[in-house]
Amino acid sequence: MDERGQLCVGIDPHAALLAEWGLSDDIGGLERFTRTVVDALADRVAVLKPQSAFFERFGSRGIAVLERAVADARAAGALVVMDAKRGDIGSTMAAYAGAFLDKGAPLFSDAVTLSPYLGYGSLRPALDLARAGGAGVFVLALTSNPEGAEIQRATTAAGTPLAQTVLDRLMAENAGARPLGSFGAVVGATIGEAGVDLDINGPLLAPGLGAQGATAADLPRVFGDAVGNVLPSASRGVLRHGPNPAALRAAVEREVGEIARFIGSGG
């Protein structure tokens, strides 16, 4: 982020976007779309975030495209956050962790998104593997989708918002880390007043810029003193400028500049 700017770009090859690019909704369109984004942006954006579901829907051939995208993006110097939102228990959670956080795995990524709603403790296999391998995680806390509030803002028996309990556990994972720990939270840029303590000594992945309605101007209000630790994420707001690589790069430059204007970073 210091070198390239405070921005994550999603790789979301959904059918409507493939059509906007003039591509067919098949493995050929998926491959061309993905390769264009990676080739255009991986050497200049801080983080790329492929959404696993859009590749999984094409079966093994789609996963092969995802594997190449991850490897090529990391080789070009971008960090990769795998947006998989996995959450399970026991050996199944350990298998998910191995798929994305084991350095020998074809889909090894710098971080993966996780869901804590089978209990934060169920994430332990992924947390431990990330710590051992120098990778990270982003755990869902306050997401950008409106439906999330009914669970995430519910209170525990002790009267604490559920999202705050997740954030507190992440803060404990990051205790003593400098400059930041590797255990982050997903906190949507669209949520308005957070109403919780976001100072977890770790990164905050903030989806919602662009198509979901948030702007860079919203970031200081939502994140307050923790805004310097925010990784804003944009997908359609950047990707709609394709398939022209120069237009994609120009869109990233505008986003990075706008974010820097409001939160004082930008490489």
Q: By three-state DSSP, how is residue 206 classified?
A: strand
Cα distances (angstroms) measured from residue 69 to each of 18, 40, 126, 171 = 17, 12, 22, 31
Q: Which two tokens stand for residue 76?
A: 């070009």
Helices (H), 59-116: 59-75, 90-101
Q: What is the pLDDT of residues 26-84, one digit of tens each?
A: 999 999 999 999 999 999 999 999 999 999 999 999 999 999 999 999 999 999 999 99
pLDDT band at residue 210 using 50, 70 and 90 as cut-offs: confident
Phi-psi region of 203 (alpha: psi -120 to 50; beta: other; left: phi over 0): beta
> In the chain, how long is the greatest CA-to-CA distance?
53
Domain boundaries, given as residue ranges, for the chain: 1-82, 87-106+113-145+179-188
Q: Work out the number of other CB atoms within 10 angstroms of the CB of residue 57.
A: 13
Q: What is the pLDDT of residues 104-129, one digit of tens each?
A: 999 999 999 999 999 999 999 999 99
Cα 41–Cα 140–Cα 59 angle in degrees, nearest 5: 60
Mean pLDDT confidence for 145-162? 89
At 191 the pLDDT is 83
Output the average pLDDT for the chain.
95
258: nearest Cα among 7, 78, 48: 7
Give yes or no for a contact between 156 and 112, defined as CB atoms under 8 angstroms apart: no
Percentage of the chain with pLDDT > 90? 88
pLDDT over 90 (residue 165): yes
103 is catalytic: no
Q: How many CA atoms lie within 13 A of 60 on its CB side?
A: 0
Cα distances (angstroms) measured from residue 102 to each of 108, 109, 110, 131, 233 = 6, 8, 10, 11, 25
At 264 the pLDDT is 73
Mean pLDDT confidence for 82-103? 98
Number of H helices and E strands in the chain, helices first, is: 11, 8
At 68 the pLDDT is 98
At 265 the pLDDT is 46
In sequence order, the β-bridge partners of residue 113 are 138
Q: Which two tokens stand for residue 35?
A: 């390769």
Give me the amino acid identity at 145. Answer: N
Q: Work out the number of other CB atoms within 10 angstroms of the CB of residue 41.
A: 24
Set 14, 35, 85, 240: catalytic member:
85
How far apart are alpha carbons 228 and 34 in whole angstroms? 30
Mean pLDDT confidence for 6-29? 97
Who contacts 244 (Cβ-Cβ below 8 Å, separation ≥6)?
A: none
pTM of whole model > 0.85? yes
